[in-house]
Amino acid sequence: MANNIIIIGGGPGGYVAAIRAAQLGTQVTLIEKDSLGGTCINRGCIPTKALLQSADLLESIKHSETFGILVDKISLDFSAVVKRKKAVVERLVDGVTYLMRKNKVNVIRGTATLIDSKTVGILESNDKIKCDNIVIATGSKPSTISIKGNDEPDVIDSDQALTMDQLPKSIVIIGGGVIGLEFAQIMHRMGSKVTIMEIMPHILPAEDTEIARLLESILKKDGIDIFTSATVTGISGVEQNKKVTFTDKEGDNQETTAEKVLVAVGRSPCTDDLGANKLGLAMDKGKIIANEYMETNIPGVYAIGDVVGGLMLAHKAMEEGKCAVENIMGARNKMNYNAIPRCVYTSPELAGVGLTEVSASEKYGDIKVGRCPFIANGKAIIYNKTGGMVKIIAEAKHGEILGAYIIGPQATELIAETVLEIKKKGVFEDIASTIHAHPTLSEAAMEAALDIGGRQISL
């Protein structure tokens, strides 16, 4: 007899779990208090990438003379940019709505709360819905910082940044992670003066140091001010601007001013109104604890996506959603967290998978590293995008690929080749011996693999 599954949250993890559950023949109800698509489609991945595309096209037009194309009177219509962003979001929300109908998923609009392991309540209507299994996919919200002035007017989070109808003349971004960097490039390329404050020694502190520092140098060269090892100590109003005080890497007190301040210090799991404590769900610093099968400590209750912490990525949530419902339906599948790509959609793009060079060395001892700079790649030269490289990290004895990093054009597309190799525990020779079309950007991955074996052709 088919199970009945209730999924709480209609973001990437939730709606993919709902579709997979329907494919497996069970009755499924999805509860969402806001718009289908969650943060990803409405306030994250999709709207930011739409804005980045507009910013990238504007930058390309500014440099069109390189390709023999002359363009006069370049200008930005930010209202039109915002209109297109909204249209992209609406189209994808409509797409998810269609998929729910197509797969006969029962969608309930409202705020879900856990009554017991077999019952979910709807706060707005006081309805109670019985089920056999529950999948919690409530996502995350922007994190805050505990400093004086963080509640000042014009101190905004990423959600609020996406609702702006005009660009600020200047902005300080607190946080040099993915969210901060993407907003930094959007605003910089559209004309705002941008300053980034990052508390760690380099931007993207969780990523490979060499690759992160390379992106940092490129962004600085483009005109974005970046302060690393910088601790923000306060925000205050000064005339029409905000004054941000901070200590720099030498420990000296510094200050800067800007029209707005964007706090981009990560995201926190959403468990408000969920009733997690009442149900007795095991928690750790606000996140729900789930094992590699996506099971919580309560039988029949699963949790996926941002609410369980770890990598807060849409595609990670999607895979966890599939894993959870397949296990509910009788499988015993584990999540493989080693083979999840991590992407930054700046220009140049940055993508990574697996271990960093430092972590690989610490774990395996003897490693080999191959690199291919895009300046040696014909397609990158044609694109006039030669900054960056492909870097592959392999275990020395057997050649198993432990990690890979790409900074350069279309890095977020190119990373898939190495993700597959890590998933199947492949060796660098698999990539080195695979014929890659010429001219393509993917040849750089082949050349990096050849470099590990001392057989690189292009350099």
CATH of residue 364: 3.30.390.30
Per-residue model confidence as pLDDT tens digits over 306-325 = 999 999 999 999 999 999 99
Q: Is residue 345 part of a domain?
A: yes
Looking at the structure, tell me whether residues 346 and 329 fall in a common domain: no
pLDDT-derived band at 174, boundaries 50, 70, 90: very high
Residue bearing the bigger pLDDT, 272 or 182: 182
Q: State the pLDDT at residue 374.
A: 98
Residues of the domain holding 397: 339-452
User: b/e for 64-91, b at 16 or more Cβ within 10 A?
Assistant: eeeeeeeeeeeeeeeeebbeebeebbee
Q: Say whether pLDDT at 270 is over 50.
A: yes
Looking at the structure, tell me whether residues 258 and 272 fall in a common domain: no
Per-residue model confidence as pLDDT tens digits over 102-124 = 999 999 999 999 999 999 999 99
Looking at the structure, tell me whether residues 138 and 278 fall in a common domain: yes
Q: Is residue 148 part of a domain?
A: no
pLDDT-derived band at 1, boundaries 50, 70, 90: very low
Q: Please give the positions annotated as active site.
A: 438
User: DSSP labels for 95-131?
Assistant: HHHHHHHHTT-EEEES-EEEEETTEEEETTT--EEE-
Q: What is the Cα–Cα distance from 184 to 265, expressed in whole angstroms?
A: 13
CATH of residue 194: 3.50.50.60
Q: Is residue 149 part of a domain?
A: no
pTM of the model: 0.95
Domains in the chain: how many in total?
A: 3
**What is the CB-side half-sphere exposure of residue 186 using CA atoms within 13 A?**
30
DSSP 223: T
pLDDT-derived band at 3, boundaries 50, 70, 90: low
Per-residue model confidence as pLDDT tens digits over 337-389 = 999 999 999 999 999 999 999 999 999 999 999 999 999 999 999 999 999 99
pLDDT-derived band at 198, boundaries 50, 70, 90: very high
One-letter amino acid of 222 = D
User: Cα 423 to the chain's mean position, in Å?
Assistant: 20
Burial class (CB within 10 angstroms; exposed 0-12, middle 13-18, buried 19+) of 278: exposed
